[in-house]
């Protein structure tokens, strides 16, 4: 059987309940908000329940402030293009995914000033450097909670409340942390939270969400039918409909609901403890293999699921090909859509080999992966 170590890209496998929920909804649900018959009412109830679960998971005071999206990238774009105007100033970091850096680059061309705070070689962004960068009037701080390259966990619990006190909007990209680490929008001072459904939340691809703090009014990224206010040719003023034009991915959101229910049932702390144990096993084992260089913090307490490495004498693309062909190890190689992060840690332009265990990864699979990596490293050393 293949060893799936690419959970930072998309979690696999999903809980069995996720598969069942998607199948059941495809066979029984109507279009939420588009009618008054039983099937559409059932679909609307499902959407509401999913929103409520996410609100509980992230400590949102009002689940109506959560708009569903197709992924975290759409959520980030909705937040950035919905709020930033020419003349605004944004502070971000050199560890961001292209889901942040590319829209910000477009906004730069429209008159938004973007300041990138450099991280250290482990990928950590010093909160004091964020504060210094905000000495000039700043509209927003945008930061990834956990790097998709090095797994580095940022000090959000320190940065968010400081931004709130200073009147600076704080947008958190939780693509690698939602469902893996506790996220509380109130305690962490998060004004805008972007999450994917298909990674740590264990839901299907094509799902995601954006939390918007009360009092913030975003210009929609898309316009169209919302199921209500049909007599007006203007978008609704109220959340979440204002940001949810078009038919939602109801089967996908049913699967997301099942994924979140599974997480809440297991407990985020238990899930995190399990993944940290696997990560420690992987880090300790890789540290014993000659020719392997690890990037990012080596303490699982400061580390999410993504672990980047380099094998001396082996290009990452060759390593990925051989790991799958010769040892059945499925991983990701290259730039991971985060070129600034690779410049920061010194792996640009080749990138890295990235391993990312998940909740359903077994200790035996980690050991088999270590055996395969050791064999690959030896083959180049001999």
Q: Which two tokens stand for residue 154?
A: 């940022």
Angle subtended at Cα 59 by Cα 43 and Cα 187, rounded to the nearest 5 degrees: 160
Is residue 118 within 8 A of residue 343, CB to CB? The reply is no
- 8 A C-beta contact, residue 179 and residue 61: no
Per-residue pLDDT at 16: 98
Residue 382 pLDDT > 60:
no
Q: Among 141, 136, 143, which Cα is nearest to 164's?
A: 141
Question: For the chain, which residues make up each domain, given as ranges?
Answer: 16-266, 268-381
Q: How far apart are CA 195 and CA 152, in angstroms?
A: 17
Per-residue pLDDT, averaged over 331-342, amounts to 96
The token duo for 308 is 């980047």
Are 249 and 48 within 8 A, CB to CB? no
pLDDT at 381 over 70: no
Query: pLDDT of 13-32, one tens digit each?
Result: 999 999 999 999 999 878 88
If you average pLDDT over residues 366-378, what whole number do you get? 95
Q: What CATH code would you report for 268-381?
A: 3.90.1150.10
pLDDT, residue 354, reads 98
Percent of the chain topping pLDDT 90:
87
Q: For residue range 72-110, list pLDDT tens digits in order.
A: 999 999 999 999 999 999 999 999 999 999 999 999 999
Fold that domain 16-266 belongs to in CATH = 3.40.640
Alpha helices in the chain (DSSP H): 16-28, 38-58, 72-83, 98-108, 127-133, 156-166, 250-266, 268-286, 316-327, 339-345, 363-381
pLDDT digits (tens, 9 = 90+) for 256-307: 999 999 999 999 999 999 999 999 999 999 999 999 999 999 888 888 999 9
Burial 218-257 (b: 16+ CB within 10 A, else e): bebbeeeebbeeeeeeebbeebbbbbbbeebbbbbbbbbb
360: pLDDT strictly greater than 70: yes
* Cα-trace Rg, the chain: 21
| DSSP H or E segment with residue 212 | strand 208-212
Provide mean pLDDT across the span 147-169: 98
């Amino acid at each position: 059987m293949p060893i799936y170590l690419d959970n930072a890209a998309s979690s696999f496998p999903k809980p069995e309940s996720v598969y069942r929920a998607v199948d059941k909804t495809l066979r029984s649900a109507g279009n939420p908000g588009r009618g008054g018959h039983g099937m559409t009412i059932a679909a609307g109830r499902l959407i509401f329940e999913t929103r409520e679960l996410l609100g509980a998971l992230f400590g949102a005071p009002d689940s109506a402030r959560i708009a569903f999206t197709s992924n975290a990238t759409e959520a980030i774009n909705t937040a950035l293009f919905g709020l930033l105007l020419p003349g605004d100033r944004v502070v971000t970091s050199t560890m961001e995914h292209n889901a942040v850096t590319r829209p910000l680059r477009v906004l730069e061309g429209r008159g938004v000033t973007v300041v990138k705070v450099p991280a250290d070689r482990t990928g950590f962004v010093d909160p004091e450097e964020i504060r210094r960068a905000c000495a000039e009037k700043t509209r927003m701080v945008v930061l990834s909670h956990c790097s998709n390259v090095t797994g580095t966990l940022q000090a959000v619990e320190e940065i968010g409340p400081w931004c709130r006190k200073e009147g600076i909007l704080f947008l958190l990209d939780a693509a690698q942390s939602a469902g893996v680490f506790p996220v509380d929008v109130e305690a962490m001072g998060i004004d805008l939270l972007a999450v994917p459904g298909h990674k740590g939340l264990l839901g299907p691809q094509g799902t995601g969400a954006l939390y918007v703090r009360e009092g913030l009014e975003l210009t929609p990224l898309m316009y169209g039918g919302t199921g209500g206010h049909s007599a007006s040719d203007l978008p609704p003023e109220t959340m979440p409909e204002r940001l949810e034009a078009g038919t939602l991915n109801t089967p996908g959101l049913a699967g997301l609901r099942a994924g979140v229910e599974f997480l809440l049932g297991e407990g985020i702390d238990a899930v995190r403890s399990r993944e940290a144990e696997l990560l420690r096993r992987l880090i300790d084992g890789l540290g014993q293999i000659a020719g392997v260089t690890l990037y990012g913090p080596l303490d699982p307490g400061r580390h999410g699921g993504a672990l980047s490495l380099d094998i001396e004498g082996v290009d990452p693309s060759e390593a990925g090909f051989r790991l799958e062909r010769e040892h059945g190890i499925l991983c990701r190689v290259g730039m991971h859509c985060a070129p600034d992060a690779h410049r920061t840690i010194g792996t640009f332009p080749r990138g890295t080999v990235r391993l990312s265990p998940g909740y359903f990864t077994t200790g035996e699979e980690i050991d088999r992966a270590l055996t395969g990596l050791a064999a690959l490293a030896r083959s180049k050393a001999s």
